[in-house]
Chains A and B, each alone.
Chain A
């Protein structure tokens, strides 16, 4: 009996692989999509503000203002644009030509030496609030280093001065790519895993070939396994391509072990395929299945996984909701394994959560499929 069952299963799996080979669109979803997305995101998504165009208005040029503007010029973060007066600067910020205005007023040099002076006015373009914050942080830093350099030259004691050393661990160059690319892998694998199974099985429902399968002696378990196994292989193939690109193309350090990565990816792939299966069983229609797959898997993985937006800063109800997003756990594992190493206290709880998610989705999918068979 067991031999016959395994032969049946082998036959089904074989059929599935033949179908994949003949229909290039599943191969495209599994390999081309991750490659394209990773290229796109890797190059397109960056939070590193470099050479930000800053309008500098110097009302009365002195040695001090020249020293500060040249200091600004040498910073990799800014590309200063000299503007004649504040009105011109206001017009430029309105036309989105510059992201901030630095205004050194006529009393800059005098106030610099006087107590409690605030000689520099900074105006940020607040439309893009995040960039504005980053620009502000860089400006503060540039201003402090300039003040410190001046103080060091003069040699006089400065009351209240602090010597602040800031360090960014795991990512000292503060490259957003190093944290975005690992997170991206989770987003992309959510998409390929869920979309792949959702579309393929919905198509079988639409064509009625799944019902034809139901009347054969094949058991439901065998059908589900035969559907999942090939797409698991495809999905892991896509994952391997993504990791290879992350390491060799984008130079993201892989500090943890490869085995942990593979294990976590398999768990996550189980959850993603389960979601796809569940969606296709509920929708039974490619149009609806495709839409649901994108809306309930891709967008939450993008926004609610902590891949780009900090989960800790979200309001409480949304933060609770993120526990339902499988990608959240995978993103946490990926970011640690890539940038920090095998941090077990991060990996183990998140891996356990992935096991639970995979079990829930696969179980639900099986339940729904069985009910619909009657």
Chain B
């Protein structure tokens, strides 16, 4: 029996790897995605174009502007002579931020009254807006502190902020471990979901049924290639994440692989279920897609689960990707132990059991 399943696994792998188009789909795009998205998917702000309106024109206000131009976050594109010119520049996306310094700026600073400064950001991208405002506030309070220091006064208190696990708050350290999970899921799901449908469309599924293979053997033969390919894909991206992108891998690789195996088995169960339910490749593809997109969105890959409405948060509980993302990120950045991830691994195992049982039941129904 083992030999029979092994033969089916070999046949399945050959079918996938011998066909140049399928092979290309398995190897090229995931790597391309890793590189492109690894560099592009960043929330870090660089060179945010901003304009200045300086009604004060004093040494103090010029010093304030120098505080802004001195960071790589902001890039001064224009100095305008009138407040009325700012709206057009922001509307046309020439600038994303405007800094307006009031004519009373120096006078108020010297008399100890709060000196008026206005910061305007383009809210068409609210994420950039909030982060740019955060940076601007930081620069303004640094400026206030240094001004007070130079004038011999006691500086207003500032927050001493530090970040754990990712001290420079690099988005890449968050996104790239996420891509490992994401691509492992995409590749495994497509491989598994389309195999049965392809055989059914080509008519070779009936031939498979007249062989001595039992439905369970067929399931194993279809599922295990998915596991192998998924793990291979995850390993390649893991290596790239560490050696190419320089994301620190602080935890144990064994914990990562344990999580990966459990996760991929859960994905295989879902893939087989989609396969069993669909008669054509188009249906299988649509099914895979209808699972994949929600599972990516509701996983916390790009945006936090905590920001979602409560009922959507409950939905995420049945999403295996959600748990694997926690495993990958904690292993990478927090050096998490197996014990601290037991809830996540148990949840993925439970999803795997349910989906595999459902797939077997659906399969038997289709076969007999």
Contact = CB atoms under 8 A, between A and B. Distances in A.
Contacts of A346: 91-93
Given A121-B162, A166-B136, A130 B171 contact: yes
Contact of B123 (A41, A126, A170): A170
Interface in A110-132: 111-112, 114-132
B114 A158 contact: yes
A130 B174 contact: yes
Interface string A270-307: 00000000000001011110111011100110011010
Interface in B98-134: 108-109, 111-131, 133-134
Nearest to B37: A303
Instruction: Give the interface size bracket for B toward A.
Output: 35 or more
A115 B155 contact: yes
A121 B133 CA distance: 21
A125 B144 CA distance: 27
A83 interface: no
A161 B155 CA distance: 9
B123 A169 contact: yes
A35 interface: no
Given A136-B134, A163-B115, A130 B43 contact: yes
Contact of A164 (B41, B92, B117, B157): B117
A45 B334 contact: no
A76 interface: no
Given A127-B334, A129-B170, A295-B29, A165 B117 contact: yes
A308 interface: yes
A126 B118 contact: no
Contacts of A116: 145, 149, 154-155
A140 interface: yes
A99 B304 CA distance: 11
Contacts of B145: 116, 160
B212 interface: no
Counting contact residues on chain A (CB < 8 A from B), the size range is 35 or more
B222 interface: no
B297 A304 contact: no
B365 interface: no
Given A171-B129, A292-B29, 18 more contacts: A25-B286, A49-B307, A120-B159, A120-B160, A124-B162, A127-B329, A130-B43, A134-B134, A160-B144, A162-B116, A163-B117, A166-B118, A167-B119, A179-B124, A291-B25, A309-B43, A310-B45, A312-B48
Contacts of A136: 134, 161
B153 A160 contact: yes
Interface stretch (B235-243, B259-267, B277-285): B277-285
B124 A170 contact: yes
A213 B251 CA distance: 59
Nearest to A121: B160
A140 B160 CA distance: 10
Contact of B125 (A29, A139, A167, A310): A310
Given A160-B153, A167-B120, A129 B126 contact: no
Majority SS of interface residues in chain B? helix
A304 B39 CA distance: 10
B163 A118 contact: no
B91 A40 contact: no
A368 interface: no
B1 interface: no
B285 A166 contact: no
A37 interface: yes
B214 interface: no
Nearest to A300: B36
A226 interface: no
Contacts of B308: 43-44, 46
A148 B114 contact: yes
B140 interface: yes
Contacts of B18: none
A175 B126 contact: yes
Contact of A168 (B109, B129, B149): B129
A217 interface: no
Contacts of A28: 286
Interface of A: 25, 28-29, 33, 36-37, 40-41, 43-50, 52-53, 93-96, 99, 111-112, 114-134, 136-141, 143-144, 147-148, 151, 157-172, 174-176, 178-179, 199, 203, 283, 285-288, 290-292, 294-296, 299-300, 303-304, 306, 308-310, 312-315, 317-318, 321-322, 332, 335-336, 339-340, 343, 345-346
A174 B36 contact: no
A270 to B, nearest CB: 23
A94 B333 CA distance: 11
Nearest to A124: B163
B22 interface: yes
Nearest to A294: B289
Contact of A340 (B21, B91, B163, B329): B91
A162 B334 contact: no
> Which of A41, A168, A340 has the most chain B CB within a 10 Å cutoff?
A168
Nearest to B105: A162
B194 interface: yes
Contacts of B159: 118, 120, 122, 139-140, 143
B166 interface: yes
B4 interface: no
